[in-house]
Structure 1
Amino acid sequence: MSGFQGISALCENPNEVFLDVSKLLLTYADNILRNPNEEKYRSIRLGNPTFSTKLLPINGAVECLFEMGFEEAETHLVFPKSASVDQLRRVRETIAAERNQRLGSDPNTTSSQNTSSCSTSSSPAASTPAQTPAPQSTTQPSTQPSTQPSTQPSTQPSTQPSTQPSTQPSTQPSTQPSTQPSTQPSTQPSTQPSTQPSTQPSTQPSTQPPTQQQSLLSSMTFLRTLQSNFQHVLLYESADMQQKALNCIPREDLCSRAKERLEQARKADPDCSLAEEDMLVLELLQWFKGDFFSWVNSLPCSRCGGNTQSAGSLQPSADDLRWDANRVENHYCNTCHLTTRFPRYNNPEKLLETRRGRCGEWANCFTLCCRALGLEARYIWDCTDHVWTEVYSHSQQRWLHCDPCENTCDKPLLYEIGWGKKLSYIFAFSKDQVIDVTWRYSCKHQEVISRRTQVQETWLLHTINGLNAVRQQALSADRKKELLERLVVELVEFISPKSPKPGELGGRISGSLAWRAARGETGADGTKEKAAGFVFIPTETEKRVKLFHLQYNITKDCYCRVSNDQEKIPGWEKCVWSNESVFRKEEHDWQIVYLSRTEGTSLGKLCWRFVCAPVGMKIKSVSIRAISQTFHSGTVRWSLRSAQTSVEFPGDGKMHSVAGLSGSTELVVEAELSGGDGDAGWQHAQLFRQNMKETETSSFEIIVEMEDA
């Protein structure tokens, strides 16, 4: 249309969309034509919600602004003094003609509804009488296009994370009436036009370089992501939703375990300054992963229960959309030729029911559970396709990395060092603020800086400060001060890249002994102190039947003391006599769980101890069954020993009767893990490896027949 590519693209939109957008475009143009010397009409703030939600997503809208003569500055689109007013008027008249034709009006006139001012100014000049032609400039406009080069902003990011938080919003006047951010995440239905610029060839050169248009679109896409996530986290503050989460959480049990864990931490470090809240976070992580939520690669067939394969996507139903599932995966069964739907729900309330998904669902629901328990939590979004949670520790006065998918706490370098991710942008969203926390998760700051090319650093800082200023308007002065003080502490942390030791995956190197012991990451000495000392002594029931029978199920992570009325004891570490650098590992991608030595260690040992002398009994016979698996050069050595002898046995999953222990009053079962190749060598020797779906199979079993001493 008239050689303007942007207008042609705009005309392809549905009629209602075209009329709404053209009204805004005409307003921008008319404000400049009526008030050519007013600077406030010559700029459009990129962060303005009206611009980002009503213009940016519409095909051709932004291109029309560029064709008018607008150029991109750091935080605004600006109409420079050197721009051609004639060009602006031509684009304006072309849009007006198309609009009036669609409205059934005289193509040479425009309706008054087209020209209501977008400015926050109340100036009479901002209004337009009905049925008036395009306004005329009161000054002589330039008749030549601008010969000045585009004020293309620098695309180089800052070489250091900013250490000076700004608490002030933008001082630039908005050209839109609303100063509030969008109250809903962007959820464009399928009938909406593409957010990408038209790919149709132009019959006339564009008035702006394509790189500038691409830069603006990238910034606006980025802004929508920030706004959407910032709005989404407000769901976690719903009292009704928090109550539904509390109805699912075994709060008393978790708090009881947290108290026990805190006592253990204080034994490991008498100077422990940790709080029960810190331990509650660890218990919540363990419960959430072990008992509440499940990982989905592909759903089992809804008819035969067999495996399915991903086969694209399906149209979301009305109920799917109600729970923010804009994407529905098609999991197809080749046996039944049946499709099983997997809606990717984004509403945490629904996830309390489904209790399954991938990292998005896990972090979404886990963050809600944290807020329901009164923990200060924020949702962490990584642009390289992962999400998790952070929880604020008041006792440690810092934010803790918490990944529910991994049951991992305070290992921020897990992704860069452990997974090898190439990080660039990571943001933390809470009810009060959004923070760029990329630097917490990287020890390779220069590499990260080189990848931060999507938006300008100055634009990003300005945008984040603006979002925070609006969100924090209703906060008390004390709360604002608290948030600012926390931010300063974070920024100090960010400017000092971490230097993790091999195998630590960013574990808290400088953390207190108590904190590392509470998480089972102190190595041999700390872990031994944490778990040492448990001894099986026959109960009255076992003494009466002269039998001790114990099983351990690693999938359920629970012991069953069969000989003592099927007594259940949760937690593999609860019944070990000593533990040197061994932990329980779940691999949800492969649906496998096992015990292995901790990362970076060359040797792991685990012992169980049985003593029957206190009840006047001695050992008559011993049978034992254990499962172990090795890879590459990894080795596992199993042994049974008493005060008189030591016997090795294989971890082949078969029951073995062990001779030579008769008459003893004490028995120790030991597993020693060693060997393995490369950085992942710690994984090459495993105990009790088992599929997570095998919930009824025990991985370890010992039967001791006794007789009177």
Structure 2
Amino acid sequence: MSYEEMFEKLGENPIESAKEAVRLLIKIVENILKNPKDLKFRTLQKNNPTLSKKLLPVAGVQMCLELVGFQESNEYFTLPLSIPLSKLEEGKDALCVWKEAFQVDNGKTNERQKMASTPSVQNKVENSLEKITPFVLPPLVRLYANPFLHQVEVIFHEALRFEDKNTQIRARNLIPLQKLEKLAQERLRTIQEYAKKNHLGDPNISIQETLLLELLAWFKEDFFSWVDSPDCEQCGGKSAFSHMSTDPKLLVYTNRVELHRCQSCHTFTPFPRYTDMNILLETRRGRCGEWANTFTLLCRSLGWDARFVMDETDHVWTEVYSIAQQRWLHCDPCENICDQPLMYETGWKKTVSYVMAYSGEEVQDVTWRYTCHHKEVLKRRTKCTENELVDVLLKLREKRQMVFSESRKNYLRRRLLMELVELMNEKKPGECDNKGRVSGSEAWRLQRGEIQTSEPSRFIWKIDTKNVKERVCVRYSAVRDKYEYIVDNDVRKTVDNWNAAAVDHSNVFRKVEKDWKKVYITRTEGCSEEGRICWRFDVEGDFKILDTVIVDFSSETFENGRVCTQIFAADLQFEIPNGQRHFSSDEFNGKKSITIQSTLSGGKGDMAWQHAQLFRESLTSDDFPFSVTFIFK
């Protein structure tokens, strides 16, 4: 049961009935948040006229009451005191998003009734920036002369953009939520089964965390694109940064426009650096600033507490609050990495000084989460005194939260206190941090694919000689991630997924580079150990005798990366030299079992894992970079 299902149920009602029910539900929740210990607000009598006539007859209402924690008895719906207020806040936010969707344009009510399965204003993104209304911030009155402290107040002020309900509605509409929730549920079940099998106890992981990981992967692989220099608008060639534009005709919706000069025709192509997230939802490209802004918005659109994090050494990312773990999780959408805060200092070798987190509710100094050298960092913090910074943060938070309910302010204070206790503890990096991988409990690392949950598939290709005239071919497309089993030019069988038809594999995965439009198999991200993948082919029956084996196998290496590919059959062993794509031999005459194994190793620096690759292809390729052909006599 989810809010998405609740929205679908609400869509089954007459629109006015649904709107009135949502209004009353919001009022019920707000009354409890304002008076959290008053039992009269936590008890709803079923025979109450409002409940019996305006709420319960509306499809989806009872589901909403259960989602926020109400329990049903014969005469009442009651909300136990043990239910956290954060659950009510989450419910209220979801209802407000739904309500806002029907207030933006009353003239389109009929259209919205057709799409009531999700609380969105429109089902597709606008095709032109001219149709987008940029979000306008209220004016800021400068309080601090110190340049750094003024920067803090400016960015905190700009964080109000994440709270704009209309922008959140647009963002949520772009998320394939049903698909991601299904993947998240499957991931959660896998974790729970693994924890149970290995006696790990309760992994303390909720659907929020697994959905967050699916959102990170979708955002990087499918939604957003990285741009160093745009392709030339004139000829499509490569370009390089030249200078910043001062042309007022280009400075529309932004005050920063880069000009990139084409290396072929020398034409200038503008690249605007947008910060308005209404526009970024349209363009869906940029560098870390655009990535972090948009990802933070998407998290807020799902009702999560999320904040924009800025490092003074020029990088930005997101933090999302985990309700189950009661702590903030570091999320870098550019890297598709979650909960690895020490990677910048330990893996990227950054010199941390100030790391500030901004949301529509609070601003916090989170530097200490991202360093394991507190004393050294403290010596580098010279832009203001520590007392000045603390005083500014307190005043900015207090001013922003003046209009909040007492229950919300109390919740934020308790959460801040817990975070401050966490930040006081100086963490030590482990091997995982040095390799750019995530530390934490075994169950938590499992979510990020660092623990294999099952034994290798042990798939063996059965080459049946009964109905073969001359040849059998097994081939693999990296682009489609599909194997084909072909008998005399007739496709008899297909197998999806690279690992589903391998007899063994370790420390490898299929990498899709949306930025460079490439796909390949390589070592697990950050892995310094060897990666390996192995295929086995057994010849069955005596109707034909194997004569010749032909292998086409592509690989590429960078730096000092190495790919070693070997073919085994009984007492035979051959090695396909690195870079050689074609191998053929008739020495397999009469053999019954053949194994092909490829080992990936070597490479330099933090990206060493990526310096040995199998089957690298363009995403538009129709080729099969791996094929094994068996010729019979």
Corresponding position of 2:177: 251
Equivalent residue number for residue 293 of structure 1: 224
Post-superposition Cα deviations, 1:132-164, rounded to whole Å, max 9, x if no partner, equal: xxxxxxxxxxxxxxxxxxxxxxxxxxxxxxxxx
Residue 516 of structure 1: CA displacement? 1.0
Give the alignment partner of residue 395 of structure 1, picking from 314, 324, 349: 324
How many residues were matched structurally? 483
C-alpha distance in 2 between matches for 1:617 and 1:249: 54
2:482 is matched with 560
2:510 matched to 1:581? no
For 2:492 and 2:239, the matched residues in 1 are separated by 41
2:304 alignment counterpart: 375
The residue number in structure 2 matching 1:452 is 381
Shift of the alpha carbon at 1:349?
1.8
Match of 2:188 in 1: 262
- Counterpart for residue 269 of structure 2: 340
The partner residue of 1:696 within 609, 618, 621 is 621
Partner of 1:623: 551
Shift in Å, 1:589 = 9.3
The 1-side partners of 2:236 and 2:260 are apart by 12
Name 1:605's counterpart in structure 2.
532
1:612-671 superposed Cα distances (whole Å, 9 cap, x missing partner):
769x99977452312131533x43321234577554323426233355556666654422
Shift of residue 255, structure 1, vs aligned partner: 2.0
**What code does the residue aligned with 1:442 have?**
T
Deviation track 1:551-607 (CA, whole Å, cap 9, x = no partner) reads 343xx5x5133456996946x556655443335668899888762355463433233
Secondary structure at the counterpart of residue 232 of structure 2 = coil
Give 1:326's aligned residue.
255
Corresponding residue for residue 233 of structure 1: 159
What is residue 581 of structure 2 aligned with on the other side? 654
The 1-side partners of 2:250 and 2:332 are apart by: 29
Amino acid at match of 1:459: E
Aligned to 2:206: 275
Task: Deviation per CA, 1:207-233: give whole Å up to 9, x if none.
Answer: xxxxxxxx974x2x3233223322333
1:125-524 equivalences under 5 Å are: 183-184=137-138, 217=145, 219=146, 221-270=147-196, 271=201, 272-315=203-246, 317=248, 320-322=251-253, 325-502=254-431, 504-505=433-434, 511-521=440-450
Q: State the percentage of identical aligned residues.
A: 36
Aligned mates of 2:315, 2:621 — CA distance in 1? 32
Is the partner of 2:403 in helix, strand or coil? coil
Conservation of the 8 A alpha-carbon contact between 2:552 and 2:582: yes
Give 1:488's aligned amino acid: L
Distance 1:484 1:312, change over 3 A: same
**Structure 1, unpaired ranges of 5+:** 1-181, 188-194, 196-214
Root-mean-square deviation (Å): 3.9
Task: State the AA in 1 paired with 2:551.
Answer: S
Task: Report the Cα distance in structure 2 between the residues aligned to 1:568 and 1:305, rounded to whole angstroms.
Answer: 37
1:652–1:231 CA distance, 2 compared to 1 (3 A): same
Q: Is the 8 A contact 1:586 1:592 kept in 2?
A: yes
Tell me, what secondary structure is at the counterpart of 1:315? coil
The aligned residue for residue 551 of structure 1 is 476
- CA shift, 1:278, in A, is 1.5
Separation of aligned partners in 1, 2:313 and 2:288: 12
Query: In the TM superposition, what is the alpha-carbon distance from 1:487 to its structure 2 partner?
Result: 2.2
Contact 2:180–2:211 (8 Å) recurs in 1? yes
Is 1:609–1:667's contact at 8 Å kept on the other side of the alignment?
yes
Secondary structure of 1:417 counterpart: helix
Matched to 1:245, the amino acid is A
Deviations 1:344-371 (A, max 9, x none): 0111221122121111111111112222
Aligned letter for 1:330? L
Letter in 1 for 2:456: A
SS in structure 2 at match of 1:416? helix
Q: What displacement does 1:382 show?
A: 1.0
CA distance in 1: counterparts of 2:293 and 2:589, whole angstroms: 56
The aligned amino acid for 2:532 is K
| Aligned mates of 2:247, 2:463 — CA distance in 1 | 58
Once residues 518 and 405 of structure 1 are traced to their aligned partners in structure 2, the CA distance between those partners, rounded to angstroms, is 18
Q: Is the 8 A contact 1:622 1:704 kept in 2?
A: yes
Task: Answer yes or no: is the 8 Å Cα contact 2:504–2:535 preserved in 1.
Answer: yes
Residues 1:636 and 1:487: Cα distance change in structure 2 (over 3 Å):
same
Structure number with greater Rg is 1
Does structure 2 retain, via aligned residues, the 8 Å contact 1:534–1:576? yes
Is the contact between residue 236 and residue 371 of structure 1 (CA under 8 Å) also seen in structure 2? yes
Q: Does the Cα contact within 8 Å between 1:606 and 1:672 map onto a contact in 2?
A: yes
Which residue in the other structure is 2:601 paired with? 674
SS of 1:399's equivalent? strand
* Letter paired with 2:169: Q
- Say if 2:184 and 2:210, in contact at 8 Å, map to a contact too: yes
Q: Secondary structure at the match of 2:433?
A: coil
Tell me how far 1:440 sits from its aligned partner: 0.7
CA distance in 1, matches of 2:403, 2:500: 48
1:566 and 1:229 map into 2 onto residues whose CA distance is 57
- 2:436–2:606 CA contact under 8 A, matched in 1: no
**1:244-264 superposed Cα distances (whole Å, 9 cap, x missing partner):** 223332222222222232233
SS across alignment from 2:584: strand
Once residues 273 and 544 of structure 1 are traced to their aligned partners in structure 2, the CA distance between those partners, rounded to angstroms, is 54
Q: 2:562 is matched with which residue? A: 635
Mapped to 2, the partners of 1:706 and 1:185 lie a distance apart of 77
1:636/1:335 CA distance change after superposition, 3 Å: closer
User: 1 CA distance for matches of 2:475 and 2:139?
Assistant: 53
Q: Which amino acid aligns with 2:158?
A: H
Distance verdict in 2 for CA 1:312–1:502, change over 3 Å? same
Q: Letter of the aligned partner of 1:702 in structure 2?
A: S
The 2-side partners of 1:419 and 1:303 are apart by 37
Q: Secondary structure of the equivalent of 2:182?
A: helix
Task: Tell me how far 1:307 sits from its aligned partner.
Answer: 1.2
- CA 1:446–1:663 in 2, change beyond 3 Å: closer, same or farther? farther
Contact 1:417 1:505 in 2 (8 A): yes
> Shift of the alpha carbon at 1:275?
2.2
Tell me if the contact between 1:597 and 1:673 (Cα under 8 Å) persists in the aligned partners.
no
